[in-house]
A and B are shown apart, each in its own frame.
Chain A
Amino acid sequence: MRTICFYFQVHQPYRLKPYRFFDIGEDHHYYDDFLNRSVMRKVAQKCYLPMNALLLEMINKYNGAFKVSFSMSGVFLDQLEAYAPDVLESFQKLVATGNCELLNETYGHTLAALKSKDEFQNMVKKHQQKIKDLFNGYQPKVFRNTELIYSDQIGAMVADMGFDAILTEGAKHILGWKSPNYVYVNSIDPKLKVLLKNFQLSDDIAFRFGNKGWDDYPLTTDKFVKWINNVPQEEETINLFMDYETFGEHQWAETGIFEFMKALPDAVFSKTNFTFSTPSEVAAKISPVGKIHVPIPISWADEERDLTAWLGNDLQDEAFDRLFEMEKLVKDIDDDEIQRDWTYLQTSDHFYYMCTKFFSDGDIHAYFSPYDSPYDAFINYMNVLSDFMIRLKEKISEKQLSA
């Protein structure tokens, strides 16, 4: 069997509003509601609504032969409920077809896997419950961690939670001469299958599709089908993992990205021996070839495919450490707003905005950041965190008084 596995990541953070020193201790609402709403509506119009409609049409047309998978963060789902119930409904319709798999991730799109097993499991369970509630009792079997961050340890934690498979990046420095187009298993717990992103072919669509300076521009389905036919016959799966916002947002409709996707299944069925599968099908049907060793965490970001987009500089480490110092205290507080803010403040994007790798990947960071500089991002986040700490301490002393 040879198959193509599409997985789309759908996520929007709760961006913080400009939160000043003078607001600490007084203003406990941290989010830029206007900005978050307008981003959600803009992306809904350009991407979510048209692409969901197209996928639904394709799934119906091919009668089960074409399928995709999604991972939607909890913070994204919360914003769908608040700002885009129409989009939520269109996702529900897609899932109801049975040819659209949902993956489990962390509710807060958190980096907790790197810091606290306890909090990581908490965030995974919370997400599981959310998916169940919104999608008619749906129970995901495959896991994807925030930004495809993976290591042997993280894999072992995920296996412990009963998942069949996990998705991650086919990072060059991990694979060496090996190919991402096989199924591997976790090196600690071989029960867990590991699916690796083919970053070459994925990024041809996600990053290079509309780039007129690219040698292979324009990318047609003929060209793409030729490339996948060039993949050695014994290699069984091509994992195309990308942000869902690729369609219509990162690659505008004018680039022809929608038409490309619409025409792709016909080209694949008529000119290749490939099928389409979801991650759980790939994990179930394709036998693993061996263990993959990832002692140091990898991700799908930037040229380095490491963690440096979120952690590593002093700004990021300080913010991250201060946040997780509060973990134990938060656990003891039974308060919806504290729990909600605790979740939203963990979102990896806040740390991404503090990245100072200006010279190599600065462009893409700047594109996604609502701040002028990483320093502004740090100041704003720390002000918010300071207020959160004050609230937390108040709750704790209230609790002690009543006890």
Chain B
Amino acid sequence: MKVLMFGWEFPPHISGGLGTACYGLVKGMAYHNQDIIFVVPKLWGDEEPLADFVNASDVTIDYREKRFKKFWKNLTYLEVSSFLVPYLGPDEFKKYTDYTIHDRTDVDESVFSNKFEFSGKYGKDLMMEVSRYALVAAHISKNKEHDIIHAHDWLSFPAGIAAKEISGKPMVAHVHATEFDRSGESVNQVVYDIERAGMEAADHIVAVSQLTKNIIINKYGIPANKITVLHNAVLDASIIKSSYKKKVPEKIVTFLGRITFQKGPEYFVEAAKKVIERDPNVRFVMAGNGDLLNRMIDRVAELRMGTKFHFTGFLKGDDVDHMYAISDVYVMPSVSEPFGISPLEAVRHNTPVIISKQSGVAEVLNNAIKIDFWDIDSMADAIFALLHYDGISKMFKELGTEELKKLKWEHVAEKLVTVYQKTLSQKP
């Protein structure tokens, strides 16, 4: 079976969890000797050779293909109606909003005759890149033989749809996160529309958790039997023994992640206050950056716990490992987390974890305390218990690492192959 896979980023050049998940999946597929053509907007040349990589930036579009023009017309509409683009100059804006230009095919020729240099990032031209990427996808699907199409998240859904249109092969849409996870209820309509179009066009959908599957059913109106849950796994389940030593006598409770609405940092701060009132010999650390950082700092000062609650800013490289290593409890109070890989990293460092029930990872990790993200009393109780009752944290350490060993990408890949086979058999 030959899979034509569309992603947006691939390690080592990643800025989010999507790249890591794609890497694990491709690695698992390689274990089962599956052929994968993996397309990304931009290749850097130092990717691990696990698949037949295609750099979308290198593809020249054959403009004589009439069917492409049809896409282009639909896709330019997508660019135009985008409000994701934050900094548009007046000239640019005019260009973007001038519908008539896009309807004239003679002007359109120029976009077909050139290669397009993708940045592969999440910048101001994101929508333009998403639509060009789809055009490239159409071209690739015409020229590269494949049995099935697999597109990861909304950025590559238009690519998947275009490829399917050209080659007629079935498409699997893989949902790692939805707009509702990223933005709460204030969704970006354009992104939502693309997500929904991708889910509707797909022959089958893969969701990273039951939680995500429910969102797809309830918010996007997709029938349940079209969705399969495939939880993420870990690349390496071995225990990390760090030689890094804690330098403060107190126990450390850690939050590590983007400080944004989705991650629920404010609940961590409130719970910290409750714990410190009962036990002053604890330090709380909030590691990361994000739009709610300053609000959290204000709140910590307001609660008068500035010498017990620390902020580290964005951590990278060894500092992340150090942070896990010196933590006595790791808390992930996410409001909405499709999966959430970081608690598994904490488990690898033998750190007991508290996770919100509103996270996908709660479905696979049994040896963790699970709480509702808004229930700060339970959160405080759990933190206090893990800090003081050695029995429970010891048990979590032992059993948690055992659980981790079962979360292998090979297993995920195996199930994915079954999903492919089922999808292919349903296709008339």
* Chain A interfacial positions (CB closer than 8 Å to B): 20-22, 24-26, 313-315, 317-319, 321-322, 373, 375, 378-379, 382-383, 385-386, 389-390
Q: What residues of chain B lie closer than 8 Å to A315, measured between beta carbons?
A: 297-298, 301, 306
Contact-residue bracket for chain B: 20 to 34
User: Would A317 and B301 count as touching, CB distance under 8 A?
Assistant: yes
Q: What residues of chain B lie closer than 8 Å to A314, measured between beta carbons?
A: 298, 301-302
Chain B residue with Cβ nearest A393? B249
Chain B residue with Cβ nearest A319? B306
Q: Mark B279-315, 1 if CB is under 8 A from A, else 0.
A: 0000101000000011001101110101110111100
**Bound-complex Cα distance A282 to B312 (A):** 52
User: Shortest CB–CB separation between residue B276 and chain A, in angstroms?
Assistant: 13
User: Would B301 and A385 count as touching, CB distance under 8 A?
Assistant: no
**Bound-complex Cα distance A315 to B309 (A):** 13
Chain B residue with Cβ nearest A316? B301
**Bound-complex Cα distance A304 to B297 (A):** 26
Q: What residues of chain A lie closer than 8 Å to B308, measured between beta carbons?
A: 386
Q: How many A-B residue pairs have CB under 8 A?
A: 63
Q: What residues of chain A lie closer than 8 Å to B304, measured between beta carbons?
A: 318, 321-322
User: Would B310 and A382 count as touching, CB distance under 8 A?
Assistant: yes
Q: List 13 A-B contacts (CB under 8 A).
A: A22-B322, A318-B300, A318-B306, A319-B301, A322-B304, A373-B294, A375-B293, A375-B298, A378-B297, A378-B301, A378-B306, A383-B310, A389-B307
B147 within 8 Å of A (CB atoms): no
B312: contacting residue among A20, A317, A318, CB under 8 A:
A20
B70 within 8 Å of A (CB atoms): no
B316 within 8 Å of A (CB atoms): no
User: Would B247 and A24 count as touching, CB distance under 8 A?
Assistant: yes
Q: What residues of chain B lie closer than 8 Å to A389, measured between beta carbons?
A: 307
Q: A314-B302, A378-B306 are in contact. Are A25 and B248 (CB under 8 A)?
A: yes
User: Would A318 and B319 count as touching, CB distance under 8 A?
Assistant: no
**Bound-complex Cα distance A315 to B295 (A):** 11
Identify the interface centre among B248, B307, B308, B311: most chain A CB within 10 Å of its CB.
B307
User: Shortest CB–CB separation between residue A362 and chain B, in angstroms?
Assistant: 15
Q: What residues of chain B lie closer than 8 Å to A322, measured between beta carbons?
A: 304, 306-307
B301: contacting residue among A22, A318, A373, A383, CB under 8 A:
A318
B307: contacting residue among A22, A313, A386, CB under 8 A:
A386
User: Would A375 and B322 count as touching, CB distance under 8 A?
Assistant: no
**Bound-complex Cα distance A109 to B312 (A):** 29
User: Would A379 and B297 count as touching, CB distance under 8 A?
Assistant: yes
Q: What residues of chain B lie closer than 8 Å to A321, measured between beta carbons?
A: 304
User: Shortest CB–CB separation between residue B177 and chain A, in angstroms?
Assistant: 28
User: Shortest CB–CB separation between residue B295 and chain A, in angstroms?
Assistant: 10
**Bound-complex Cα distance A383 to B312 (A):** 10
Q: What residues of chain B lie closer than 8 Å to A21, measured between beta carbons?
A: 285, 310-312
A22: contacting residue among B283, B294, B319, CB under 8 A:
B319
Q: What residues of chain A lie closer than 8 Å to B319, measured between beta carbons?
A: 22
Q: What residues of chain A lie closer than 8 Å to B301, measured between beta carbons?
A: 313-315, 317-319, 378
Q: Mark B311-352, 1 if CB is under 8 A from A, else 0.
A: 111000001001000000000000000000000000000000
Q: What residues of chain B lie closer than 8 Å to A313, measured between beta carbons?
A: 301
**Bound-complex Cα distance A382 to B246 (A):** 18
User: Shortest CB–CB separation between residue A359 and chain B, in angstroms?
Assistant: 16
Q: What residues of chain A lie closer than 8 Å to B246, measured between beta carbons?
A: 25
- In order of increasing CB-CB distance, the 5 nearest A-B pairs are A25-B247, A314-B301, A318-B301, A25-B248, A314-B302
User: Shortest CB–CB separation between residue B352 and chain A, in angstroms?
Assistant: 21
Q: What residues of chain B lie closer than 8 Å to A24, measured between beta carbons?
A: 247-248, 310
User: Would B322 and A385 count as touching, CB distance under 8 A?
Assistant: no
Q: What residues of chain B lie closer than 8 Å to A375, measured between beta carbons?
A: 293-294, 297-298
Q: Mark B219-254, 1 if CB is under 8 A from A, else 0.
A: 000000000000000000000000000111100000
User: Would A390 and B310 count as touching, CB distance under 8 A?
Assistant: no
**Bound-complex Cα distance A314 to B247 (A):** 28
A382: contacting residue among B293, B302, B306, CB under 8 A:
B306
Q: What residues of chain A lie closer than 8 Å to B285, measured between beta carbons?
A: 21
Q: What residues of chain A lie closer than 8 Å to B283, measured between beta carbons?
A: 386
Q: What residues of chain A lie closer than 8 Å to B306, measured between beta carbons?
A: 315, 318-319, 322, 378, 382, 385
User: Would A26 and B297 count as touching, CB distance under 8 A?
Assistant: no
User: Would B307 and A26 count as touching, CB distance under 8 A?
Assistant: no
Q: What residues of chain A lie closer than 8 Å to B312, measured between beta carbons?
A: 20-22
**Bound-complex Cα distance A355 to B306 (A):** 16
User: Shortest CB–CB separation between residue B211 and chain A, in angstroms?
Assistant: 32
**Bound-complex Cα distance A232 to B378 (A):** 72
Q: What residues of chain B lie closer than 8 Å to A22, measured between beta carbons?
A: 247, 312, 319, 322
User: Shortest CB–CB separation between residue A307 and chain B, in angstroms?
Assistant: 17
Q: What residues of chain B lie closer than 8 Å to A25, measured between beta carbons?
A: 246-249
**Bound-complex Cα distance A317 to B306 (A):** 10
Chain A residue with Cβ nearest B299? A314
**Bound-complex Cα distance A383 to B293 (A):** 16
Q: What residues of chain B lie closer than 8 Å to A382, measured between beta carbons?
A: 306-307, 310
User: Shortest CB–CB separation between residue B129 and chain A, in angstroms?
Assistant: 31
User: Shortest CB–CB separation between residue A353 and chain B, in angstroms?
Assistant: 13
**Bound-complex Cα distance A382 to B286 (A):** 14
User: Shortest CB–CB separation between residue A116 and chain B, in angstroms?
Assistant: 18
Q: What residues of chain A lie closer than 8 Å to B302, measured between beta carbons?
A: 314, 318
User: Shortest CB–CB separation between residue A397 and chain B, in angstroms?
Assistant: 11
Chain A residue with Cβ nearest B245? A26
Extra 10 A-B pairs, beta carbons < 8 Å, given A25-B249, A321-B304, A322-B306: A20-B312, A21-B311, A22-B322, A24-B310, A315-B301, A375-B297, A383-B310, A385-B307, A386-B248, A390-B248
User: Would A26 and B247 count as touching, CB distance under 8 A?
Assistant: yes
